[in-house]
Structure 1
Amino acid sequence: METQGASPFGPLAGIRVVDMTTVGMGPYATQILGDMGAEVIKIEPPAGDVLRYTEPVRNVGMSACFLNLNRNKQFLVLDIKCDDDLAHLKALIADADVFISNVRPVSMRRYGLDYESLQAINPRLIYCGAYGYSEAGPYAGLPAFDDIIQAKSGMAHFQGANGGRGPQYVKTIMVDKIVGLTAAYVIPMALYERERSGLGQAIEVPMFETMVSFLAVEHLAGKTFVSDGGPSGYPRVMSGHRKPYGTKDGHIALMPYTTAQWVRFFIVSGREDLTREPKYIDAAARNANIDELYAVVGDILGGKSTADWLVLLAKADIPHSEVLTFDALLDDPHIQATNTLFEYDHPTQGRLRAAGIPTRFSRTPGGIRSWPSELPAHRHDDESNGG
């Protein structure tokens, strides 16, 4: 599949975004905006986005991560330390709907790229700053990356709890992608509000606060109740038995959730006696004994092969799955049918594989219009070389 989407437009067609972000968080947000039809102009320093040079890579400057985060963008090299380049950037912003940056605010103010300065030249500008910590708190201006925020937000603690291994990082750039998604939804909200007020505004999307809020949904837990609630950490998720279960010959994921599902599971597993145990059948009691219950499930699942369980659980309509490697997803029939992963011919990098657009609009679908390109020459370098 070369492109995705029946239309070259999308719900954000006509919106111009000046993107001065690097690495993962900001580029993920702006790729989503580009997929949805926005015109995205990616500003890179003369050395290029550092993500260009990660591994794996086929050609230097075009890493797999960079390719997976920067489609549907135009590329422009500017050195904001150069007065002419800074003026050119401000001229682009003056004509833009959105400006997004992951540069710390102190540096933005130094170059007159703070919201107050840019609002003076573009009152309708939606200005999004996505960086480590809110300017409203004492951590303002501290450097931050995904691993740092995983540690500081409590995510690394929760990830390593009950495993005896100490704190662990989630094996994906979770913070970058969650904060990128947050930026990708708040920017269209601000654009919607601008349609009514006619005015732009500044948006702050701090990594630390975003992740604490994200984790608090379930892990604030007992701390929700100020005087008598108990510890933080959602018990079901924190159970040391919550993991893919071992079978006779492999592993399987299983998650009965409703009482009806638990009853059907006990019946098909030959443990109908457990359907008479109030601590497993009553919803409140089940949640209070979830760690014990998950241990029982583990013992039950060890008695049959993965293939046998897949048949039994499917017939009983109980939520379950085999445990797939990411490589196996390349041949998954659902992934193929939905073009979630597909192959294409890149203009310079050869045959590549990419992830498609997971969301679907019935009337104004997004689309893939262009692919990431090599780092353009800096225009002043061109001039000095006679170009």
Structure 2
Amino acid sequence: MSAPTPPTGPLAGIRVLDLTAVVLGPLATQTLGDWGAEVIKIETPTGDLVRNSGVFRNRGMASVFLGVNRNKRSVALDLKTPEGAAVLRRLIPTADVLVTNIRPAGMARLGFGPEECKALNPRMVFAVATGFGQDGPHRARPAFDEIIQAASGLADIVGEEEGQPRFVPSLVADKITGMALVSAVLAALLHRERTGEAQLVEVPMLETITAFVAVEHQGGHAFDPPIGEPGYARLRHRKPAPTKDGWMTLLPYTAAHWRAFFTEAGREELIEQLGVNDPVTRNANIDRVYAAVAAIAPGRTTAEWLAVCERLDIPATGFSSIEDVPEHPHLKAVGMFQPMDHPSEGALRMARPPTRFAATPAGIHRHPPRLGEHTAEVLAELGYDPAEIAALAERKIIRRG
């Protein structure tokens, strides 16, 4: 696909102004675009920083950018100039949502804080992703994924066994907060649909990831005063199971699973010895339970164990290398990775939108845009004539792709 096709998702007809950069915000706005929204990405004349992150054929179109910026039009303009700001002021009245991860003080300096935008369009939802909630002492600090993994306790949990903090080697804080931002935008749009009232939405990274980690790792600190240590012991003992010819993840979960597993392994005595019939006793013995799995698993190959687990309905799988993921039989069968013909980058392979809508399918209807690819097109829609557009380009207020 190179030419745009009409969006078919449930958000068709919703216009989103995307003043985000890097990963958190762009993932959120891409998801809105996957689900049918028209997304106009506002970039500086030098472009989103992530345009050069990852592997690329051409500068400015690197793999990370491609992964979070499909289904968007790119408008490159200098909002620090009066003429560039005037373009955005003409766009805002046409939008349903403005999404930004520019720090609030920066938006205010540009003249596009929540109140200024509300004056231009009272029906527009203003959604901002921040590093830290704006009612706290860290509100003005910059934040990136590693900062939030560190501050939220996530890195401490990941590195606990090694005795030092470790980062998850994925931008999980950015991506989880990005999906929380999608949910917040949709909730605000639903409220507007019901009441006619738009509102300011703030999604702070630290608070979002702290709540995410706390679900299971509050442990004894869920009670006041604490009745035990924080953390979730079962997760601390989870490890890949060694098999005769490799590794797998083997996860008997219910009492019935554990009985079936130990019976199949010829170790029925462990059912009583480890107390697996009672979830409280089983969790108290979880280190011994997982040690038993690690001792039993090497007796068979991965394929043999997978066949057993499928027969017994026990959750299990082999491990995929990142290179092999596109060949996973299930992902291949559902067409998870789709080819795309990009006008400047050639043949691409993209992970399709994973969410299925029966009546209003999500989809990829626009390729990731080159910097400023749609600047002239969008300005023309706003009533700028070709001479005005050319003059703005000449003065480097805008950039055309």
2:230 is aligned to 232
Alignment deviations for residues 17-62 of structure 1 (CA, whole Å, 9 cap, x no partner): 0000000000000000001110100000011001001121111110
Q: Describe the SS at the equivalent of 1:233.
A: coil
1:373 aligns with 2:372: no
Give the letter aligned to residue 296 of structure 1.
A
Post-superposition shift, 1:381?
6.2
Cα distance in structure 2, aligned partners of 1:366 and 1:305: 40
Post-superposition shift, 1:373?
2.0
1:60 aligns with 2:81: no
Alignment deviations for residues 192-237 of structure 1 (CA, whole Å, 9 cap, x no partner): 1101211110000010000001111111111001124211111111
Post-superposition shift, 1:304?
2.1
Cα distance in structure 2, aligned partners of 1:311 and 1:334: 16
**CA contact 1:17–1:100 (8 Å) conserved in 2:** yes
- 1:135-154 alignment, distance < 5 Å: 135-154=134-153
1:263 is aligned to 259
- 1:110-129 alignment, distance < 5 Å: 110-129=109-128
1:200 is aligned to 198
1:87 is aligned to 86
- 1:233-312 alignment, distance < 5 Å: 233-239=231-237, 242-277=238-273, 279-312=275-308
Give the letter aligned to residue 393 of structure 2.
D
Give the letter aligned to residue 203 of structure 1.
V
Post-superposition shift, 1:384?
4.0
Post-superposition shift, 1:276?
2.6
**CA contact 1:7–1:367 (8 Å) conserved in 2:** no
Cα distance in structure 2, aligned partners of 1:320 and 1:97: 44
CA separation of 1:277/1:23 partners in 2, compared to 1, >3 Å: closer, same or farther? same
1:174 is aligned to 172
Select which of 355, 359, 370 maps to 1:359. Answer: 355
Give the letter aligned to residue 363 of structure 2.
G
Cα distance in structure 2, aligned partners of 1:132 and 1:317: 42
Post-superposition shift, 1:7?
7.6
CA separation of 1:85/1:339 partners in 2, compared to 1, >3 Å: closer, same or farther? same
- Aligned-residue CA RMSD (Å): 1.8
Give the letter aligned to residue 70 of structure 1.
N
2:211 is aligned to 213
Cα distance in structure 2, aligned partners of 1:101 and 1:371: 21
CA separation of 1:116/1:384 partners in 2, compared to 1, >3 Å: closer, same or farther? closer
Q: Describe the SS at the equivalent of 1:99.
A: strand
**CA contact 2:130–2:203 (8 Å) conserved in 1:** yes
**CA contact 2:133–2:204 (8 Å) conserved in 1:** yes
Post-superposition shift, 1:315?
1.9
TM-score normalised according to structure 1 size: 0.94
Q: Describe the SS at the equivalent of 1:162.
A: helix
**CA contact 1:7–1:366 (8 Å) conserved in 2:** no
1:131 is aligned to 130
Cα distance in structure 2, aligned partners of 1:51 and 1:267: 52
Q: Describe the SS at the equivalent of 1:374.
A: coil
Post-superposition shift, 1:303?
2.2
2:97 is aligned to 98
Cα distance in structure 2, aligned partners of 1:230 and 1:276: 26
For structure 1, which runs of at least 5 residues remain unmatched after alignment?
A: none
Post-superposition shift, 1:121?
1.4
Cα distance in structure 2, aligned partners of 1:236 and 1:273: 22
**CA contact 1:7–1:364 (8 Å) conserved in 2:** no
1:347 aligns with 2:347: no
**CA contact 1:134–1:209 (8 Å) conserved in 2:** yes
Give the letter aligned to residue 69 of structure 2.
N
Q: Aligned pair count?
A: 380
Cα distance in structure 2, aligned partners of 1:173 and 1:206: 16
Cα distance in structure 2, aligned partners of 1:86 and 1:55: 31
Post-superposition shift, 1:382?
2.5
- 1:13-32 alignment, distance < 5 Å: 13-32=12-31
The percentage of aligned residue pairs carrying the same residue is 44
- 1:61-76 alignment, distance < 5 Å: 61-76=60-75
Q: Describe the SS at the equivalent of 1:128.
A: strand
Post-superposition shift, 1:353?
0.6
CA separation of 1:80/1:384 partners in 2, compared to 1, >3 Å: closer, same or farther? closer
Give the letter aligned to residue 243 of structure 1.
K
Give the letter aligned to residue 346 of structure 2.
G
Cα distance in structure 2, aligned partners of 1:248 and 1:133: 48
Q: Describe the SS at the equivalent of 1:169.
A: coil
Q: Describe the SS at the equivalent of 1:37.
A: coil
TM-score normalised according to structure 2 size: 0.91
Alignment deviations for residues 52-92 of structure 1 (CA, whole Å, 9 cap, x no partner): 01121111110011111111101100111111101111221
Cα distance in structure 2, aligned partners of 1:376 and 1:204: 28
Give the letter aligned to residue 139 of structure 2.
A
1:45 aligns with 2:41: no
Q: Describe the SS at the equivalent of 1:188.
A: helix
2:8 is aligned to 9
Q: Describe the SS at the equivalent of 2:344.
A: coil
For structure 2, which runs of at least 5 residues remain unmatched after alignment?
A: 376-388
